[in-house]
Amino acid sequence: MKTINFAIDLGTTNSLIANYNNGAVKIYNNPLGLKQTLPSCVAFRGNRTIIGDKALDYLEKDAENVCMLFKRKMGTQETYFIPSTNKEMSPIDLSSLILKELKNFVTDTDQLQTAVITIPASFDTIQSNATKKAGYLAGFKEVVLLQEPIAACLAFANQSNLDIETSKNWIVYDFGGGTFDVALVEVNDRELKVIDNEGDNFLGGADFDNLIVEKIIVPKIEANANITNLWKDIKSKSSRYKGLYFELLKKAEEAKKELSVYPETEIEIDIDIKDDNIFEQIVITRAEFEAVITPKVEQTITFIKKVISQNQLLNSQIERLILIGGSTYVPLIKQRIKEETGILVDSSIDPTSAVVDGAAYFAGSKPTTIETEKTIVVEEESSIDTQIFYEQNTRDLEELITCKVSGTDLKYRVTRTDGGYDSGIKIIQNGGFAEFVPLLKGQLNQFKIQVLDQQLNPLKTINTIAINQGSYNVLGQPLPIDICMEVDDIDASVTRLEQIFRKGSILPLKKKIYKTASKTILKDSDANLIINIVEGQSKGLPSSGLSIGYIEFSGKDLEEDLIKGTDIEIELEITESRDLKINVYLQACDQEFKNVFSQSERTISISKINMEINAVLSDVEYLIKEQVEEENFEYSNKLEQLRVGLIEIQIETTLLNDDDVSDKKYQLDDQKRKLIQTFDTLTRNKVVALEIEEYNISKDSLEWEVNKEENEKYRPKYLKVIANEKEVINSGDKYLIRAKIKELDVLFNSIIQSSDENFISYFFGLKYTSGFTDTKKADKLMKQGDEAIERKDYKSLKHIVYALYALLPDREKEKQKQFKDDSKTGLR
């Protein structure tokens, strides 16, 4: 078995590459500057592309042709226009340049075809896929993704060589340049498992730099030079202060690093503003710096508390909190975490290289699917098929190797390559064997298996088995967010999310689900069916989630009509590296759509953010009014906070130019999604309570009907519907409850409609309804109805009632739960 061995930390600010070899990790040095990190920065000078530290130097001279912090925009459609080449570069293009440059660090092999690349735990599927694309673009034949906090834990566990007897909880706090992640990890004597994670893709050390510029440097310049609006001006692409924003950011970063060591620092400003040259020395104190970053630091602590409490843990149950990421050098961070949580804060591993180090251990245990020419030759030589199973990393001193072998009358022999163990020649029985092998402590143990014939001629030799004693293993990478499919809701006027894979499930995942077509799609027609896969809370509003792709079929793609009610078989698969594959099989048409999934990228338009906020705002405002009337002030206050939050985002969007070059748009979109999620959570209980109320009303009226002597035959059906009532109500899932209500109503309607006489009360109910779409026609029908009742002609009355229904406005139809066939997705 050949393992991947190479690992890359593709960081927002700094990237690193390492190799795993015989139980040891080697982090490669940047040939320029003799340090391990490569700044994730690219500069373009005509035909030349400059990467890393040299590129950073160009920020001051020619910031327009320098790209950095692009990891924050991975998975978006935003591109960077490079004036010097007159070309657009995507975040994927830029990332691939960083990866190519890292490949140049590796001079001791030409076998660098596959690598583990790390991603923040909070990266969604689109961002993960974008990272992989960058890898392939850089020439890798295989890319495996690993979440950064897992990598950090592996580094810590393997470096500190702890002996962990009982299971422990750790927290990894990763505060880098552009992303913040906190992960809760369970560690036992052999493996690590991420239980939960929280984070923010738009929170990092770069925000500190930005705050220093916005809140400290710019106000000081404005005061001294007697100008206003400098902040807005320097951020705009079309601004005449070209590059000044980046220049000030660089100075701010230097100041920030100084302030991690000294109580104050000084920066020099030399710029031209409105034809005046401004030259100043600006002193920044640690207290000033801490004052502006405090809200961000507190935000990170809220995430720590959240991840602990949502897993029903106490702070005392967290054994240690491991700090990684360059921003954790800021003393305030360590201090505030200690003060606020009382957890042991561990800063023993190098915050910059921890991720690549751990990722290399992982790479050392991950088999590669890329076959070198040599192994292919071995396969061709032998007619014997073998399948071998064993743990690649273990804390035990003995491991089991099991092997399935094709062929009969064979023998085997297992030896350790250092000569310390030999199984002797044994007979293979029942198509295989299992052998316990002893391991050397703290080393990579390599074994050779030989399959021999009766005359002891070797038929096949496998010498790629490597077991690393003393290393921790990763149990699996969890899915950070639910993956759902958008389906039509019961009444089809809205859609809802149906969970397919649950947050925390260990990748890879595969599932076959059966859906029903909720509308008919005729062959060659324009009608369509949409399969939209959304990443987000399954009980949430579809707009609070992130669409990670969809398949759309229209009648033009079909070979036969797709009839409403027929089965649609959908198979979904997510690999460990977050590839999403969908196979759709339409049973009625006997037609299959394979791998037709198209990846969506993330587009963010300011007007779209505004529109979505407006839609939710009206609901929020309506609820506030209602709650205030009911004197439910605690609840209305929470809603009021939400309302303010949403309006703040709206105001901020109006301050943004469409060509804004900062990350503000993405930050605002993220904030918007989070607020809508909160709204969803806040209102869910209320919505569920309303559904339960409605359920009881429907049940009461049905019960009343069933209790009538003539309806006795419906009782078994009724009992069947309410059989799992408790379970449904306790689920707190409004969709399940609503489905139950629908069942009750269907039964109610069929009882009512089974007897023409029942239409009398219906008819009288309709008489007191107002707002018919055609009052003249309605009046006429009313008159006919009255006459029919007089004649006791209930058959005609029935038809009159139906006709009146059709004249009801939509709002009333909704109340009467009339079935509407205006499905959205075509799936139910």
Residue nearer to ligand ADP on the CB measure, 150 or 487: 150
Please report how close the Cβ of residue 176 comes to Mg ion at its closest, in angstroms.
4
Q: Which amino acid is at 38?
A: L
Please report how close the Cβ of residue 355 comes to Mg ion at its closest, in angstroms.
5
User: Should residue 364 be labelled a site residue for Mg ion when binding is judged by CB under 5 A?
Assistant: no
CA distances from 186 to 118, 166, 267 (A): 20, 10, 44
Q: What does 545 bind: Mg ion, ligand ADP, none (CB cut-off 5 to 8 Å by kind)?
A: none
- Residues 519-538 interacting with ligand ADP (rule: CB under 6 A): none
- Residues 585-624 interacting with Mg ion (rule: CB under 5 A): none
Pairwise CA distance, residues 401 & 126, whole Å: 38
Pairwise CA distance, residues 343 & 167, whole Å: 17
Region near Mg ion per CB under 5 A, out of 8-16, 504-512, 605-613, 637-645: 8-16
Please report how close the Cβ of residue 354 comes to ligand ADP at its closest, in angstroms.
9
Region near Mg ion per CB under 5 A, out of 11-19, 356-364, 687-695, 811-819: 11-19
**Quick one: tokens of 163?**
């002996």
Q: Which amino acid is at 470?
A: G
Length of the chain: 828
Cβ-based neighbours of 10, under 8 Å, separated by 6 or more: 40, 71, 95, 98, 99, 117, 118, 119, 131, 134
Q: What does 158 bind: ligand ADP, Mg ion, none (CB cut-off 5 to 8 Å by kind)?
A: none
Please report how close the Cβ of residue 669 comes to ligand ADP at its closest, in angstroms.
20
Which value, to the nearest 10 degrees, does the dihedral of the CA atoms of residues 171, 174, 180, 182 take? -10
User: Should residue 177 be labelled a site residue for ligand ADP when binding is judged by CB under 6 A?
Assistant: yes
Pairwise CA distance, residues 121 & 147, whole Å: 5
Helices 286-309 and 244-259: angle between axes, nearest 10 degrees: 80
Residue nearer to ligand ADP on the CB measure, 394 or 667: 667
Q: Which of 135, 199, 326, 364: binder of ligand ADP (CB under 6 A)?
A: 326
Q: Count residues contacting Mg ion (CB under 5 A)?
A: 2
Please report how close the Cβ of residue 330 comes to ligand ADP at its closest, in angstroms.
5
Pairwise CA distance, residues 55 & 75, whole Å: 23
Please report how close the Cβ of residue 205 comes to ligand ADP at its closest, in angstroms.
2
Pairwise CA distance, residues 358 & 148, whole Å: 9
User: Should residue 325 be labelled a site residue for ligand ADP when binding is judged by CB under 6 A?
Assistant: yes
Pairwise CA distance, residues 39 & 11, whole Å: 8
- Residues 2-31 interacting with ligand ADP (rule: CB under 6 A): 11-14
User: Should residue 296 be labelled a site residue for ligand ADP when binding is judged by CB under 6 A?
Assistant: no
User: Should residue 11 be labelled a site residue for Mg ion when binding is judged by CB under 5 A?
Assistant: yes
Contact 45, 58 (CB under 8 A): yes
Region near Mg ion per CB under 5 A, out of 6-14, 163-171, 590-598, 621-629: 6-14
Residue nearer to Mg ion on the CB measure, 200 or 557: 200
DSSP codes joined into one string, 101-151: HHHHH--S-S---EEEEEE-TT--HHHHHHHHHHHHHTT-SEEEEEEHHHH
Please tell me whether residue 86 adopts helix, strand or coil conformation. coil
Pairwise CA distance, residues 175 & 324, whole Å: 6
CA distances from 684 to 408, 679, 729, 734, 800 (A): 63, 8, 13, 8, 40
Q: Which of 176, 351, 470, 536: binder of Mg ion (CB under 5 A)?
A: 176
**Quick one: tokens of 774?**
């055609």
Q: Which amino acid is at 155?
A: A
Please report how close the Cβ of residue 118 comes to ligand ADP at its closest, in angstroms.
9
Cβ-based neighbours of 28, under 8 Å, separated by 6 or more: 16, 17, 18, 19, 36, 102, 105, 106
User: Should residue 478 be labelled a site residue for ligand ADP when binding is judged by CB under 6 A?
Assistant: no
Pairwise CA distance, residues 662 & 542, whole Å: 28
Query: What mask, x for binding ligand ADP by CB under 6 A, covers residues 187 to 206?
Result: -----------------xxx
Please report how close the Cβ of residue 245 comes to ligand ADP at its closest, in angstroms.
16
Q: Which of 75, 149, 176, 470: binder of ligand ADP (CB under 6 A)?
A: 176
Task: Name the strand (E) or helix (H) holding 10.
Answer: strand 6-10
Region near ligand ADP per CB under 6 A, out of 127-135, 319-327, 672-680, 792-800: 319-327
| DSSP bridge pairs for 42 | 51, 67
Residue nearer to Mg ion on the CB measure, 11 or 135: 11
- What number of CA atoms fall less than 13 Å from residue 696's CA on the CB side? 7
Q: What does 118 bind: ligand ADP, Mg ion, none (CB cut-off 5 to 8 Å by kind)?
A: none
| DSSP bridge pairs for 172 | 183, 322
Q: What does 13 bind: Mg ion, ligand ADP, none (CB cut-off 5 to 8 Å by kind)?
A: ligand ADP
Q: Which of 178, 536, 545, 645: binder of ligand ADP (CB under 6 A)?
A: 178
Q: Which residue has the tokens 């984070």?
A: 199
Pairwise CA distance, residues 321 & 116, whole Å: 25
Please report how close the Cβ of residue 259 comes to ligand ADP at its closest, in angstroms.
7
Please tell me whether residue 575 adopts helix, strand or coil conformation. coil
Please report how close the Cβ of residue 10 comes to ligand ADP at its closest, in angstroms.
8
Contact 396, 34 (CB under 8 A): no
Residue nearer to ligand ADP on the CB measure, 289 or 695: 289
Pairwise CA distance, residues 543 & 558, whole Å: 30
Region near ligand ADP per CB under 6 A, out of 298-306, 323-331, 447-455, 794-802: 323-331
Q: Which of 329, 447, 759, 763: binder of ligand ADP (CB under 6 A)?
A: 329
Q: Which of 257, 305, 686, 813: binder of ligand ADP (CB under 6 A)?
A: 257
Q: Which of 122, 352, 450, 698: binder of ligand ADP (CB under 6 A)?
A: 352
Contact 670, 200 (CB under 8 A): yes
User: Should residue 95 be labelled a site residue for ligand ADP when binding is judged by CB under 6 A?
Assistant: no
Please report how close the Cβ of residue 359 comes to Mg ion at its closest, in angstroms.
11
Q: What does 470 bind: ligand ADP, Mg ion, none (CB cut-off 5 to 8 Å by kind)?
A: none
Q: What does 330 bind: ligand ADP, Mg ion, none (CB cut-off 5 to 8 Å by kind)?
A: ligand ADP
**Contacting residues toward ligand ADP, per CB under 6 A:** 11-14, 176-178, 204-206, 253, 256-257, 260, 325-327, 329-330, 352
**Contacting residues toward Mg ion, per CB under 5 A:** 11, 176
